Amino acid sequence: MGVASFDRATEQKRAWNAAAAVPDPEVPCVTVADLGMLRSVEIEDDVAIARVSPTYSGCPATLAIEMAIEVALREAGFEPRIERVLSPAWTTDWITEEGREKLRDFGIAPPAQASNSVRALFGETVVACPHCGSTETEKISEFGSTACKALYRCTSCSEPFDYFKCI
Amino acid sequence: MAGHSPELREALFELLLRLGDDCLILGHRVSEWCGHAPMLEEDLALPNMGLDLIGQARSLYTYAGEVEGNGRTEDDLAYLRNDRQYRNLLLVERPNGDFAHTMLRQLYFAAFMEPYWRATCGSKDETLAGIAGKAVKEMAYHIRHAGQWVIRMGDGTQGSARRMKDAVEELGHYVDEMFGTDAVTDALAAAGIAPDPAALRPDWDRTIEMVFSEANLKQPQIAYPQRGGRDGLHGEDLGHLLAELQYMQRTYPGLNW
């Protein structure tokens, strides 16, 4: 059954929904759409083309995410193709409002809006604790459990937490 | 890539190898700290920085293979060349030494690559501009991390300050090579594909000066800077590094995961 026999816009929407539901393997509370990694899904010549922007050059999850999107599209009945899009470069500004909320619920402080200026080398960012909301927090380490996170501690409630780094 | 003349493609291939080799070799060096760093946070930080660099190397090698047009993959370029065919800077192959050496080397390289990638974001070559767009943010992060350590150690105890001063003396010999120009860099700068490395010196000096002024350090006067990496003339340390990096492919040619 060729996808061409369906209404194109409806099919495209269905393909988007299938791909958009794929969770991030390292932060499974958010989907690739929440993170802004899934740039577009289009159907051309019966092939569903998903364009994906990696978060970090060396993120080991990139390949796993691309394969998961491929599987999700195939399971939804599409012939998938994944295209990696480097430009424009992914930025934490692309994380949706819903994605930021989900990160907070999961105990990860979402990135401060408006990514860091490359010149602001030693500028400190104010990060609110995802547990108690206090802004009395301190950085423990610039690098956390994954490439995309830093480690913080709340001095009000004493809980350590991950901060989704701003790039 | 489309539309480049054969001469320009050749220069672009050479540049992609240089940049890819810088990233791969430094990424490997940094990864050698995994499990040996002085504290848990650094044991996470160093492999994270290594991952950034190896990720950049992968993009650069993949594109180099396309530009060359002989079907070589990123793996062929990373695993199946000899030391004389590597084009990396001597700086990045320097052994890790102590933590001061490692952090200063990281700062020196990142302080060069951050303005390099920033300028390359406007490249007439779209693929290279795309790689630059990702890498520039990562390098800014590396400057920040390494810079904080250089300040902490340079402005720290007698022991840490001595180590950092030793590192400044030793690595000073490898600074000038970063800004070296030749027919390859000239051709690509003229075509608007990549920046002229020599033009980035003021940016580099500014970053280093900013860090050094807080770290109580001074840049040394170097009478005879070391060069040769861009022409494949390396120190013996690269051979040892490649022996480890390439072991699996050399022992089991064509091995796949």
Task: Please spell the DSSP secondary structure of B129-155, one letter per residue.
Answer: HHHHHHHHHHHHHHHHHHHHHHHHHHT
Q: How confident is the model at residue A124 (pLDDT cuts 50, 70, 90)?
A: low
The two structure tokens encoding residue A101: 């909320």
Q: Is the confidence at residue A114, as pLDDT, over 90?
A: no
User: How many whole angstroms separate alpha carbon A119 and alpha carbon B207?
Assistant: 10
* DSSP class of A85: -
Per-residue b/e over A149-164, b at no fewer than 16 CB within 10 Å? bbbbebeeeeeebbbb
Confidence (pTM): 0.88
A chain contacts of residue B140, beta-carbon cutoff 8 Å: 116, 118, 121
- The DSSP letter of residue B18 is H
Range ranked top by mean pLDDT from B21-25, B43-47, B251-255: B21-25
In the numeric block, which tokens belong to residue A9?
């816009």
Please state the separation of Cα A21 from the chain's center in Å.
12
B106 close to B98: Cβ distance less than 8 angstroms: no
Q: What is the mean pLDDT of residues B2-26?
A: 95
Please report which residue ranges of B89-229 form alpha helices under DSSP H.
Answer: 90-93, 99-120, 126-154, 158-171, 183-190, 201-215
- Yes or no, beta carbons of A57 and B56 under 8 Å apart: yes
Per-residue pLDDT, A148? 80
pLDDT score, position A119: 41
Smallest Cβ–Cβ distance between B48 and the set A54, A85, A147 belongs to A147
Model confidence over B222-235: pLDDT tens digits?
999 999 999 999 99
pLDDT average, residue stretch A6-26: 91
Measured distance CA(B57)–CA(B62) in Å, rounded: 8
Q: Which of residues 16-45 of A touch B (CB under 8 A)?
A: none
pLDDT value at B59 more than 50: yes
Provide the residue type at B71 as one letter: G
What pLDDT band is residue A6 in, cutting at 50, 70 and 90?
low
Average pLDDT, chain B: 95
| A and B: number of Cβ contacts within 8 A | 89
CA distance B57 to chain A (A): 9
Cα nearest neighbour of A118 on chain B: B140
- Locate the chain B residue with the closest alpha carbon to A147: B48
Give the tens place of pLDDT for each residue, A71-97.
Answer: 999 999 999 999 999 888 898 889 999
Residue B23 and residue B57 in contact, taking contact as beta carbons nearer than 8 Å: yes
pLDDT at A80: 97
Contact state of A121 with B54 under an 8 Å Cβ cutoff: no
Residues of A in contact with B148 (CB under 8 A): 122, 142
Q: What is the pLDDT of residue B51?
A: 93
Give the pLDDT band (50/70/90) at residue B2: low
pLDDT at A117: 46
Show which of residues 44-63 on chain A sit within 8 Å of chain B, judged by CB atoms: 54, 56-60
Interchain CB distance below 8 Å, A142 and B210: no
Neighbours of A106 (CB within 10 A): 14
CB-based contact B127:A81 (threshold 8 Å): no
Instruction: Look at residue A60 in the predicted model and tell me its pLDDT.
Output: 81
pLDDT of the residue at B67? 97
Least confident of A49-53, A146-150, B162-166: A146-150
Interatomic CA distance for residues B159 and B181, integer angstroms: 38
Average confidence (pLDDT) over B119-132 = 96
Mean pLDDT taken over chain A = 87
Residue A48 and residue A79 in contact, taking contact as beta carbons nearer than 8 Å? yes
pLDDT tens digits along B105-114: 999 999 999 9
